[in-house]
Structure 1
Amino acid sequence: MTYITRAAAAAGALLAAAGLLTVGQAQAASRDALSDNWLYLTVTKGDAKAAEGPGTLLLCDPPEGHKHAAEACTELAAADGAIDRIPAEQVFCTMIYAPVTVHARGRWHGRVVDFQETYSSACVMKARTRHVFAVDG
């Protein structure tokens, strides 16, 4: 038979409570890190609805997530997080139809962002969204 003294039980309860507080603070910190400016980006070939499959998490404080994260965050900041308000780049794209569907969901300064668009080609997508969806380098 095992006997637990009051002191051992109190120490165990104190350690368990301290562990819960530590875990709670760590979880709160990780949620806070994503609460301001972040987007989960997907790029899918074709004109079907963007897949929930693999994507890229773009963080903007500090910029990270893909090779052009700093540029993407600067462009998003200038457009106040509205991807459709990013000024289009003036380029010539071929008229070959090869659709690309993009989807961005996340938060920008506390607002929910949910953007989805199908472009006629990757060239048009890059011209309209600049560095935001430049996820593969």
Structure 2
Amino acid sequence: MRHRIITLSALSLLSLAGATGIAEAQPTSAHGPSAMVFTIAQGSGAATDTILRATTLTCAYTAEGTHPDPRAACDSLNATEGELNRLLAAPNPARMCPMLYDPVTVTADGVLNGKRVAWKHTFSNSCAMSATLNGNPVYAF
């Protein structure tokens, strides 16, 4: 009797899974799916900021989107392990920036490695942004 209940339960689960698509084979990878929108805006992160540039990036089997170097940007994003503050480096000490407050905000919104992300960072000016993001391909657009 117990074997029959287990068999019926297993069959019920399989038929439910087939109806909902759960039993479909899903591709696996080292990183979950990522689909992001990145912006660089003039301002301190308010809704009224002026978007200067924006790009999209999808990291799955292939790297694609409107980003000029999607493969390098995906590799850099994956290296953060979900901590987007790791995109920020110590400012290049050889680069001198003016002490002018003209804020620039960078954002990242979307799904990163299967998890929802909404991140932003404000720099004092565009020179400080360039010095801090120096060499990082994610915001090189």
Task: Pick the TM interval, shorter chain.
Answer: 0.5 to 0.7
Question: Which residue number in structure 1 is paired with residue 63 of structure 2?
Answer: 63
Cα RMSD, aligned residues only: 2.6
Give the partner amino acid of 2:82.
G
Give the letter aligned to residue 103 of structure 2: P
TM-score, normalised relative to structure 1: 0.59
Find the residue that maps to 2:101 and give its secondary structure: coil
Match of 1:4?
none
> Once the 2 structures are TM-superposed, how far is the Cα of residue 133 of structure 1 from its aligned partner?
2.0
Using the alignment, how far apart are the partners of 1:36 and 1:66 within structure 2? Answer: 17
Give SS of 2:120's match: strand
SS at match of 2:76: helix
Is 1:100 the equivalent of 2:104?
yes
Higher helix proportion? 1
Answer whether contact 1:126 1:134 (CA < 8 A) is retained: no
If the length of structure 2 is used for normalisation, what is the TM-score?
0.58
1:71-86 to structure 2, matched below 5 A, reads 71-86=72-87
Identity %: 31
1:115 is aligned, of 107, 113, 119, to 119
Aligned residues: 101
**Structure 2 segments unaligned to the other structure (5+ residues):** 1-31
Structure 1 gap segments, 5+ residues each = 1-34
**2:117 is paired with a residue of what secondary structure?**
strand
Residue 138 of structure 2: aligned partner: 132
